[in-house]
């Protein structure tokens, strides 16, 4: 069964430092997508970064990068130069097909709460 | 702003009632997904529509139903509401399968 595991319920980081949020996934499919979303206390889900299973390069979006290690089935999020506004819950998610249908439903991990200290 | 809109933002109702949540996807996106976020279950996929047709179903209760209209907006109907249905309901849209999904602001449902 497909599964996303985030083993860090909560993390602290000092402002301006880098932080890595861990994510491992389990799938037997060859085609899938990996995502990170940010959920601040206001509740909205903000898309941060995407990595396709066939992408050879690690995805980067500004201060966010995804450390994709396919053999280890890990997709860790690295946030560089943390800012106070980065304090939020972060979710790792995976999308994959279901049978022969073109569905990309997302399966989410339990989330990691990140607190940035001034 | 993701470009996905959801109404209403908050909904308070009583057990046994029925409510309708509305979602408008980003311009050009044909796929609409509904998710439920609760404290005990986390974020769970409910149902997906693609260009008006149901494409996938997740852990959606029989009391819940959805549809996608010709203008691509979608509605999630929740009936015979129970206390446990209190949750944050998200709609997301996507232009490509397996690709990024952009979430609306959510509807926070409280069942009293």
- Residue B36 has, within 13 A of its CA and on its CB side, a CA count of 22
The residue behind tokens 């409510």 is B19
* pLDDT tens, residue by residue, A37-48: 999 999 999 999
* pLDDT tens, residue by residue, B17-72: 999 999 999 999 999 999 999 988 899 999 999 999 998 899 899 999 999 999 99
Residue in B48, B55, B102 closest to A47 by CB: B102
* pLDDT tens, residue by residue, A55-106: 989 999 999 999 999 999 999 999 999 999 999 999 999 987 666 565 688 9
- pLDDT for res A101: 60
| Alpha-carbon distance values, B34 to A30, A43, A61, B106 (Å) | 25, 16, 26, 10
Least CA distance to A103: which residue of chain B?
B97
Where residue B30 falls (left for φ over 0; alpha for ψ -120 to 50; beta otherwise) is: alpha
Among B residues 21-60, those touching chain A with beta carbons less than 8 Å apart? 31, 33, 35, 42-45, 48, 50, 55-56, 58
Q: Does A31 have pLDDT greater than 90?
A: no
- Give CA–CA dist A54/A57, Å, rounded: 9
Q: Does A4 have pLDDT greater than 70?
A: yes
């Amino acid at each position: 069964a497909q599964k996303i595991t985030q083993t860090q319920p909560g993390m602290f980081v000092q402002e301006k430092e880098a932080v890595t949020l861990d994510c491992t996934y389990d799938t037997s499919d060859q085609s899938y997508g990996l995502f990170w979303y940010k959920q601040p206390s206001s509740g909205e889900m903000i898309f941060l970064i995407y990595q396709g299973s066939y992408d050879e390069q690690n995805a980067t979006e500004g201060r966010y990068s995804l450390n994709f290690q396919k053999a280890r089935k890990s997709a860790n999020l690295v946030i560089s130069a943390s800012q106070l506004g980065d304090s939020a819950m972060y979710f790792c998610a995976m999308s994959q097909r279901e049978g022969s249908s073109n569905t990309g439903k997302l399966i989410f991990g339990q989330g990691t709460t990140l607190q940035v200290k001034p | 702003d993701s470009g996905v809109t959801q109404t209403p933002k908050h909904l308070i109702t009583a057990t046994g009632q029925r409510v309708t949540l509305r979602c408008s996807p980003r311009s050009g996106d044909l796929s609409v997904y509904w998710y439920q976020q609760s404290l005990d279950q986390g974020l769970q996929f409910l149902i997906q529509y693609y260009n008006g047709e149901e494409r996938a179903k997740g852990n959606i209760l029989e009391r819940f139903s959805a549809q996608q209209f010709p203008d691509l907006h979608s509605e999630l109907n929740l009936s015979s509401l129970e206390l446990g249905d209190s949750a944050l309901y998200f709609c997301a849209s996507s232009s490509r399968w397996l690709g990024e999904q952009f979430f609306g602001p959510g509807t926070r449902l409280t069942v009293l």
